[in-house]
């Protein structure tokens, strides 16, 4: 490896382009090799942020005595060239490639110098600077779709994403990875599970809890695991791949309909509810806990539309019936996250009965997040069920909401929507309903 | 032990009073001893439901050849008499007794013959029939307060309960147990944590996931553990005692501000969030994970009132800003359960800014349920925080809601309410805020 060298390292620092590989020597026998990534908010001008081989970021304080050597792009073990260009990826489109749809979110974000907060990026070049090893095991075609944080997503965006997934398979992808903000990643995963039909390969949502320009970001290892599952998974459904524990070595594969973000900041925040994850990925490969859905042979399609006239309301003691009733106004369907086995205060029976008579579809889930709802154990449940509330077994409130929008988009009348809600559309009901089964 | 005997067991069955101790013999060497409890919904006339010594219920099919012997009330190891009467309990009021406030809920419920669902009971006699060993370790004074399922509780009921707790200590109780429906038990525990000040002894909320007239109810073992903690705990705060696992031998003691029902039906449904439980109870005694609050020497009091003009709204992708804004109308305060570190879609910034300008207090928690909110990591959080949203660290949405009602009841203006929300009132902030601390 050869390269140029500068006598004034601080001068050099200012002109180093993002993605440049460098070797730093302190003149006392220490050298550091890595790729220049965007500067961290609080790092001074003399701090050089480097992504080193392990995937971790290093903030190196450059002293006047140090030397900076520019290196050629890293040679991948499996490819002859350095970071791929758009042209290369276009050529690879016909080959066995994985499509990476970027949407923003922490996994494709960096610190914003103005606000000090984290802002999403969209540029391929910047994404590749964060993830220099992206194509270590084969070609990846990057398709920027959005550049926003996931709390800003709407159901319309879920439909757009579904279209992009189908298009990616149409261009020959063997699997699709969606880099997504973690905040609403589970909502999107559930929605895509209902929207995407006849998938010929895996659709893998992945995120990061810390942005890739920060030390110990989980982005590189999560993305590598997701790309691997998309490439080697050999199944045809929507999953989420994220850290299974605090190491960088074990990743869980969650079904899109059973997963939830259960911690605001830990890298192992995502959990499957009501049972184990679908499988795991680690150094030994991919192992499944239960059989994943087989890939379809026919072309994939989007089974839309979603109707956005659905809502989700979490019950709490003290919520006035009038407030809850007003929340439901103008909606065609409402998912309630009730207490326990699926209850709301009996003070709410009147407006629920009236709204159902006027055509509102009301579905019940539990805010416990684990276990099933069951209208037959308590008097309140019986009365709600008699009023026409549909009990949705072990569906998470978020999954039930995504399914409601899908069902509203497919069913003409309330009865039809209710029937669609109760049908097992995407393997979302994990438990067979067993009335009276001991807990 | 002697008793009368009947030649026609079926005839006998019809006249057996609830709470009667009996011995059944099948004439072939088998005998069963237990207390008659109310009949289960589906049990026929020939099935005798018995609570046996282990605390479990048995549904015994009585054949014509069986004999039924009426027994005297069981002698407790520590007391000379059988099940206590109201008179006895009144006498015990001056002694070291535990007060048991019953409010309904599964722990004091039985099957309703009309609906087939479970209905709460209020009668002391019926409660004692379910829990014949209640006073095994000392006197318990039963105070029926409500007879309703907990989904019907309102914040007004929390204040009534707080008054009853203070009254019970005033009558000499060394600890207070509140038997409560599990559905909203954690809400009540949080509210009482803020309402009750200078507690001279433990206040222990307890519930059951299966009603005491059903086989394998968790009611008897939960209640025994709760009474024990109330009698021997020696601390001065509000806790929840429930099964820690699926055995009948280990119970967790959760702080009232950090506990949540996390499963709709399992007996180990209650979990402490953001850390381990305060302690455990098992055959070896009570052990604490961290130091509980010391009992106060002064008299306890209710630090009310609660102001019911507070609300709780869980954000989801697709919720229209107008719908969310309308939900907040007429409220003085609103807790948002946002995504991740405490976000809502930026489409919502406008109405939140406008509402705050008009005096609404808006507080942020995370729907992840574990971890803290932090406005300083992402641009959305910074903008919400600049708009005046108060970030409530690691408070559960439910705890934040209870605290909001308390703060609204104590603060005149928005600034005062915000300051109260941010103060550590009842040990509810488990984590010191550490900006930038790695997860």
User: Which of chain B's residues have a Cβ under 8 Å away from the Cβ of A327?
Assistant: 323, 326-327
Range B285-307 average pLDDT: 96
Nearest CA in chain A to B215: A438
Q: Tens digit of pLDDT for each residue in B188-223?
A: 999 999 999 999 999 999 999 988 877 778 999 999
pLDDT attached to residue B89 = 55
With an 8 Å Cβ cutoff, are A264 and B151 in contact? no
pLDDT attached to residue A116 = 61
Closest CB from B187, B366, B398 relative to A264? B366
Residues of A tagged active-site: 106, 182-183, 261
All structural domains of chain A with their residue ranges: 5-71, 86-302, 310-422
Assess whether pLDDT exceeds 60 at residue A439. no
Separation between Cα atoms, residue B53 and residue B72, nearest integer Å: 15
CB–CB of A261/B340 below 8 Å?
Answer: yes
Interface test with B, best of A110, A205, A339, A347 (most B CBs within 10 A): A339
Structure tokens at B434: 């550490």
Q: Average pLDDT over chain B, rounded to whole?
A: 87
pLDDT attached to residue A240 = 98
Range B109-120 average pLDDT: 66
DSSP secondary structure string for all residues of A100-142: EEE--SGGGEEE-TTTSSEEE---HHHHHHH-TTTTTTS-EEE
Which residues of A, range 391-420, sit inside 8 Å of B by Cβ? 398, 401, 405
Range A424-437 average pLDDT: 70
pLDDT attached to residue B157 = 98
Q: How many CB pairs under 8 A join A and B?
A: 218
Query: Is B272 within 8 Å of chain A by CB?
Result: no
Interface test with B, best of A40, A110, A318, A319 (most B CBs within 10 A): A318
pLDDT band per the 50, 70, 90 thresholds, residue B339: very high
pLDDT attached to residue A62 = 78
Query: Is A279 within 8 Å of chain B by CB?
Result: no
Nearest CA in chain A to B346: A152
Lowest mean pLDDT among A340-344, A376-380, B253-257: A376-380
Let me know if the fold of B5-71 is the same as that of B310-422: no
Q: Which CATH class is domain B310-422?
A: alpha beta
pLDDT attached to residue A25 = 86
Nearest CA in chain B to A267: B439
Question: Is A195 in a helix, a strand, or coil?
Answer: helix
Type and span of the H or E element at B350 = helix B349-357
User: Which of chain B's residues have a Cβ under 8 Å away from the Cβ of A372?
Assistant: 264-265
Query: Is B435 within 8 Å of chain A by CB?
Result: no
pLDDT attached to residue A379 = 86
Q: Average pLDDT over chain A, rounded to whole?
A: 87
Tell me which DSSP letter residue B345 carries. -
With an 8 Å Cβ cutoff, are B438 and A216 in contact? yes
Q: Give the rounded distance of the alpha carbon of A306 from its chain centre.
A: 19
pLDDT attached to residue A124 = 77
pLDDT band per the 50, 70, 90 thresholds, residue A298: confident
Query: Is A187 within 8 Å of chain B by CB?
Result: yes
Nearest CA in chain B to A377: B117
Query: Is B242 within 8 Å of chain A by CB?
Result: no
Which residues of B, range 30-89, sit inside 8 Å of A by Cβ? none
Q: Tens digit of pLDDT for each residue in A392-417?
A: 999 999 999 999 999 999 999 999 99
Residues of B tagged active-site: 106, 182-183, 261
User: Which of chain A's residues have a Cβ under 8 Å away from the Cβ of B341?
Assistant: 264-265
Interface test with A, best of B322, B340, B434 (most A CBs within 10 A): B340
Query: Is A245 within 8 Å of chain B by CB?
Result: no
Closest CB from A154, A210, A327 relative to B318? A154
- Tokens 């090799």 found at: A33
Cis peptide before A305 (omega within 30 of 0): yes
pLDDT attached to residue A325 = 98
CB–CB of A324/A350 below 8 Å?
Answer: no
Cis peptide before B147 (omega within 30 of 0): no
Structure tokens at A288: 């499944």
pLDDT attached to residue A378 = 86
Q: Per residue, what are the HEC states of B19-46?
A: CCEEEEECCCCCEEEEEECCCCCCCCCC
pLDDT band per the 50, 70, 90 thresholds, residue B73: low
Q: Tens digit of pLDDT for each residue in A357-396?
A: 999 999 999 999 999 999 998 889 999 999 999 999 999 9
Separation between Cα atoms, residue B57 and residue A25, nearest integer Å: 76
pLDDT band per the 50, 70, 90 thresholds, residue B81: very low
Assess whether pLDDT exceeds 80 at residue B13. no
A57-61 and A47-51: which strand pairing?
antiparallel
Query: Is A267 within 8 Å of chain B by CB?
Result: yes
Among B295, B274, B381, CA closest to B336 = B381
Query: How close, in Å, is residue A181 to chain B by CA atoms?
Result: 10
This prediction has a pTM of 0.83
Of the candidate CATH numbers 3.10.20.30, 3.40.50.1170, 3.40.50.620, 3.40.1190.20, the domain formed by B86-302 belongs to 3.40.50.1170
With an 8 Å Cβ cutoff, are B382 and A115 in contact? yes
Higher pLDDT, B8 or A32: A32
Closest CB from A155, A265, A319 relative to B371? A265
pLDDT attached to residue B436 = 41
With an 8 Å Cβ cutoff, are A209 and B376 in contact? no
With an 8 Å Cβ cutoff, are A266 and B319 in contact? no
pLDDT band per the 50, 70, 90 thresholds, residue A300: very high
Among B272, B437, B436, CA closest to B369 = B272
Query: How close, in Å, is residue A90 to chain B by CA atoms?
Result: 34
With an 8 Å Cβ cutoff, are B439 and A311 in contact? no
With an 8 Å Cβ cutoff, are B439 and A209 in contact? yes
Which residues of B, range 350-369, sit inside 8 Å of A by Cβ? 366, 368-369
pLDDT attached to residue A433 = 37
Nearest CA in chain A to B367: A262
With an 8 Å Cβ cutoff, are A264 and B372 in contact? yes
Lowest mean pLDDT among A262-276, B28-42, B201-215, B362-376: B28-42
Closest CB from A267, A314, A339 relative to B151? A339
With an 8 Å Cβ cutoff, are A264 and B337 in contact? no
Topology given in CATH for the domain delimited by A5-71: SH3 type barrels. (2.30.30)
CB–CB of A367/A339 below 8 Å?
Answer: yes
pLDDT attached to residue A2 = 39
Query: Is A374 within 8 Å of chain B by CB?
Result: yes
């Amino acid at each position: 490896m050869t390269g140029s060298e500068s006598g004034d390292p601080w001068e050099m620092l200012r002109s180093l382009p993002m993605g440049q590989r460098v070797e730093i020597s302190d003149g006392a026998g220490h050298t550091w090799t890595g790729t220049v990534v965007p500067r961290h908010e609080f790092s001074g001008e003399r701090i050089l942020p480097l992504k080193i081989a392990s995937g971790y970021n290093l903030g190196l304080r450059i002293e006047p005595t140090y030397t900076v050597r520019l290196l050629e792009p890293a040679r991948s073990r499996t490819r002859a060239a350095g970071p791929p260009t758009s042209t290369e990826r276009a050529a690879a489109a016909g080959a066995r490639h994985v499509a990476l749809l970027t949407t923003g979110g922490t996994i494709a974000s960096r610190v914003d110098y103005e606000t000090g907060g984290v802002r999403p990026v969209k540029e391929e070049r910047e994404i590749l600077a964060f993830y220099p090893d992206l194509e270590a095991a084969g070609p990846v075609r990057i398709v920027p779709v959005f550049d926003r944080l996931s709390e800003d997503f709407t159901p319309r965006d879920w439909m757009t994403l579904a279209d992009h997934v189908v298009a990616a398979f149409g261009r020959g992808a063997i699997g699709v990875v969606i880099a997504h903000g973690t905040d609403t990643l589970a909502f999107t995963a559930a929605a895509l599970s209902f929207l995407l039909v006849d998938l010929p390969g895996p659709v893998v949502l992945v995120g990061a809890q810390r942005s890739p320009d920060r030390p110990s970001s989980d982005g590189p290892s999560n993305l590598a695991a997701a790309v691997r599952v998309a490439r080697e998974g050999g199944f045809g459904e929507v999953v989420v791949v994220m850290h299974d524990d605090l190491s960088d070595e074990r990743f869980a594969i969650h079904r899109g309909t059973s997963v939830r973000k259960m911690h605001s900041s830990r890298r192992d925040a995502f959990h499957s509810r009501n049972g184990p994850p679908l499988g795991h990925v680690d150094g030994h490969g991919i192992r499944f806990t239960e059989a994943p859905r087989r890939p379809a042979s026919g072309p994939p399609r989007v089974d839309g539309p979603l109707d956005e006239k659905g809502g989700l309301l979490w019950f709490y003691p003290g919520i006035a019936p009038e407030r809850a009733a007003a929340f439901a106004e103008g909606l065609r369907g409402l998912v309630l996250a009730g207490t326990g086995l699926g209850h709301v205060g009996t003070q709410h029976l009147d407006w629920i009965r009236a709204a159902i008579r006027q055509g509102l579809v009301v579905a019940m889930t539990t805010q416990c997040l684990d276990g099933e709802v069951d209208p037959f154990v308590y008097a309140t449940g019986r009365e709600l069920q008699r009023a026409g509330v549909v009990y949705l077994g072990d569906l998470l409130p978020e999954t039930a909401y995504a399914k409601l929008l899908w069902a509203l988009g497919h069913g003409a009348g309330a009865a039809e929507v209710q029937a669609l809600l109760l049908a097992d559309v995407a393997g979302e009901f994990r438990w067979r309903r067993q009335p009276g089964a001991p807990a």
